[in-house]
C-alpha cells in the first residue's frame, strides 16, 4: 500500500512535468499561428504592456489539461460524471474565450456561455445542496446550486481580470495547481489530483513564454478556462472528497479578494464592470513603479502564507473559520503594505504627521498613495 502511494505521488510529479513540456511546445505553435493571423493584443491606455503581443496562448493550456481529464477518466481514476463536468464546461469556456480573443465577442454572449458552463458542471456533479463550513454544515437545497453556479461563473471571469501583467496568472496556476494536487492526493481524490497536476504543469510551461517580457499572452481562452477549472475542482472536491471549499478559497484568495473588491468599487462608482481597466491592486503596484516580476514575487510570498492556512484547514476542518480570518488578514495586510515596509520607514522618518497621513489615506481606500512619502518619485 505504501509503495502504491509513493508510486502514484511520483506519477503526479511526472504528469506535471509532461504537462509543462507539452505546454511549452504547444504554446510555441499557438504563438506562430497568432503571429501569422495577427491575433495581437494592442496596447491602450488601460494596458500594462507597451508593444503589440500575440494572445491566445491559453489554448495550449486548455488542450493539454482536457487531454489529461480524458486520460484520467479512461484509466478509471476520474469518475465519468466528474470528467464530463470538467471536460464539457471547460471546453465551452475555452471555445468562447478563443472566439473572443479573435473577434471580441459581446460581453452578454460571453457571460451566457460562462453561466451555461457553470450550470453544466453543477448538473454533472449532481448538485451542491449541502454546504460545509468546517465541522458545520447547511442544507441549502436549490439555493446551494444557484450559489455554486454563480461561484463558478464569477471565478471564470475574475481569473480573466487578474491576467493583466506578465507571469501573474501563470505563476498562480502553477502554485495553486501544485498545492491543490497534493491536498487532493492526500484527501483521497486521485482523479482530481491528476487534473490539478496537469494545471500546475500547464501554468509552469506557459510561464516560459509569458515571463517578462512576455512573448505571448494567455488570452481569454486560457484565463477563463483556468478560473472554471479551479472553481469546478473545488466544488467537486467539496462534494466527493469531503475537502472543504474554503481550502480552495484560501489558495486563490489573492485573486478572489483583489478582483471582488475592485468589482464592488467600480459598481458603486457606476462604472461598467466588464470593461478593461487598471484599478486592480496588482496594476496599481505596477503603476507605482514596481516591475512585473517584483509584483508577482510579492504575490507568491502571500500565496505561500495562504497555502499554509489552507493546509491547516485540510488537516483540521474545525479551524476553517479561524484560518479564513487569518487569510483575510494576510490579504488585507499585503494589499496595504506591499509598496513599503511601513514600520521601518516610519521609524526612519520619525515624525507623527507622516504616520497620520498614512493612516488617513489607508482609511480612505488609497493604500498605495499612502506610502508615497516613502517612495518619492515612484507613484504616477
Mean pLDDT for the stretch of residues 40-44: 81
Give me the pLDDT at residue 270, please: 82
Residue 312, domain member (yes or no): no
Q: How confident is the model at residue 4 (pLDDT cuts 50, 70, 90)?
A: confident
Residue 369, domain member (yes or no): yes
Residue 183, domain member (yes or no): yes
55 and 195 housed in the same domain: yes
Q: Which percentage of the chain shows pLDDT scores above 90? A: 60
Give me the pLDDT at residue 224, please: 97
Residue 187, domain member (yes or no): yes
Identify which of 89-103, 122-136, 254-268 has the greatest average pLDDT.
89-103
Q: How far apart are CA 283 and CA 329, in angstroms?
A: 21
Domain of residue 363, residue span: 342-374
Q: Specify the pTM.
A: 0.86
> Where would I find the beta strands (DSSP E) of 205-330?
none
Residue 263, domain member (yes or no): no
Give me the pLDDT at residue 50, please: 72
Residue 319, domain member (yes or no): no
**pLDDT at 218 > cutoff 80:** yes
75 and 192 housed in the same domain: yes
CA 85 from chain centre, in angstroms, equals 19
Domain boundary among 243, 264, 296: 243
Q: How far apart are CA 165 and CA 178, in angstroms?
A: 21
Q: How confident is the model at residue 138 (pLDDT cuts 50, 70, 90)?
A: low
Q: In this structure, what are the phi and psi dihedrals at residue 50, rounded to the nearest 5 degrees? A: -120, -10
Domain boundary among 243, 274, 305: 243
Q: Is the peptide bond before 213 cis (omega within 30 degrees of 0)?
A: yes
For 277-322, write each residue's pLDDT tens digit: 777 888 888 888 889 998 899 899 999 999 999 999 999 988 888 9
Residue 308, domain member (yes or no): no
As given in the structure block, the three cell numbers for residue 55 are 494572445
126 and 6 housed in the same domain: yes
Residue 282, domain member (yes or no): no
212 and 67 housed in the same domain: yes
Q: How far apart are CA 141 and CA 130, in angstroms?
A: 7
Domain boundary among 218, 243, 268: 243
Q: What pairs with residue 224 in β-bridges?
A: none
Q: How confident is the model at residue 364 (pLDDT cuts 50, 70, 90)?
A: very low
For 45-55, write each residue's pLDDT tens digit: 666 667 889 99
**pLDDT at 343 > cutoff 60:** no
DSSP string of 198-249, one letter each residue: HHHHHHHHHHHHHSSSPSSB-HHHHHHHHHHHHHHHHHHHHHHS---HHHHH
Do 169 and 230 meet the contact criterion of CB atoms below 8 Å apart?
A: no
346 and 237 housed in the same domain: no
Q: Which residue has the higher pLDDT, 345 or 90?
A: 90
As given in the structure block, the three cell numbers for residue 344 are 521601518
Give me the pLDDT at residue 374, please: 37
Q: How far apart are CA 228 and CA 222, in angstroms?
A: 10
- How many beta carbons lie within 10 A of that of residue 191, not counting itself? 22
Mean pLDDT for the stretch of residues 237-249: 88
- How many beta carbons lie within 10 A of that of residue 266, not counting itself? 16
28 and 175 housed in the same domain: yes
Number of domains in the chain: 2
271: three-class secondary structure by DSSP: coil
For 63-84, write each residue's pLDDT tens digit: 999 999 999 999 999 999 999 9
Amino acid at each position: 500500500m505504501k509503495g502504491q502511494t509513493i508510486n502514484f505521488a511520483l506519477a503526479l510529479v511526472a504528469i506535471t512535468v509532461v504537462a509543462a513540456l507539452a505546454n511549452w511546445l504547444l504554446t510555441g505553435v499557438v504563438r506562430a499561428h497568432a503571429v501569422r493571423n495577427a491575433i495581437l493584443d494592442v496596447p491602450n491606455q488601460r494596458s500594462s504592456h507597451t508593444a503589440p503581443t500575440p494572445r491566445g496562448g491559453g489554448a495550449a493550456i486548455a488542450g493539454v489539461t482536457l487531454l489529461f481529464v480524458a486520460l484520467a477518466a479512461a484509466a478509471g481514476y476520474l469518475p465519468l460524471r466528474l470528467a464530463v463536468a470538467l471536460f464539457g464546461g471547460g471546453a465551452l469556456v475555452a471555445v468562447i474565450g478563443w472566439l473572443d480573443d479573435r473577434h471580441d465577442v459581446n460581453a452578454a454572449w460571453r457571460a451566457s456561455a460562462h453561466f451555461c458552463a457553470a450550470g453544466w458542471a453543477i448538473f454533472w456533479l449532481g448538485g451542491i445542496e449541502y454546504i460545509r463550513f468546517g465541522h458545520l454544515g447547511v442544507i441549502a437545497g436549490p439555493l446551494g446550486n444557484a450559489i455554486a453556479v454563480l461561484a463558478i461563473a464569477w471565478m471564470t471571469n475574475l481569473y480573466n481580470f487578474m491576467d493583466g501583467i506578465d507571469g501573474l496568472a501563470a505563476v498562480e496556476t502553477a502554485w495553486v495547481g501544485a498545492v491543490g494536487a497534493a491536498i487532493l492526493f492526500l484527501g483521497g481524490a486521485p482523479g482530481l489530483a491528476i487534473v490539478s497536476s496537469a494545471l500546475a504543469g500547464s501554468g509552469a510551461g506557459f510561464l516560459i513564454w509569458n515571463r517578462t517580457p512576455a512573448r505571448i499572452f494567455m488570452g481569454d481562452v486560457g484565463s477563463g478556462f483556468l478560473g472554471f477549472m479551479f472553481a469546478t475542482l473545488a466544488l467537486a472536491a467539496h462534494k466527493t472528497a469531503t475537502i472543504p471549499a474554503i481550502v480552495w478559497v484560501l489558495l486563490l484568495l489573492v485573486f478572489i479578494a483583489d478582483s471582488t473588491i475592485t468589482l464592488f468599487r467600480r459598481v458603486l462608482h457606476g462604472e461598467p464592470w466588464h470593461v478593461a481597466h487598471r484599478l486592480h491592486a496588482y496594476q496599481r503596484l505596477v503603476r507605482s513603479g514596481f516591475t512585473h516580476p517584483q509584483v508577482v514575487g510579492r504575490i507568491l510570498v502571500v500565496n505561500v502564507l495562504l497555502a499554509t492556512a489552507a493546509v491547516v484547514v485540510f488537516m483540521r476542518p474545525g479551524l476553517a473559520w479561524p484560518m479564513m480570518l487569518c487569510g483575510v488578514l494576510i490579504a488585507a495586510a499585503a494589499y496595504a503594505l506591499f509598496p513599503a515596509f511601513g514600520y521601518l520607514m516610519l521609524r526612519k522618518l520619525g515624525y507623527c504627521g507622516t504616520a497620520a497621513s498614512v493612516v488617513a489615506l489607508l482609511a480612505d481606500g488609497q493604500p498605495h498613495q499612502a506610502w508615497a512619502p516613502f517612495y518619492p518619485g515612484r507613484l504616477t
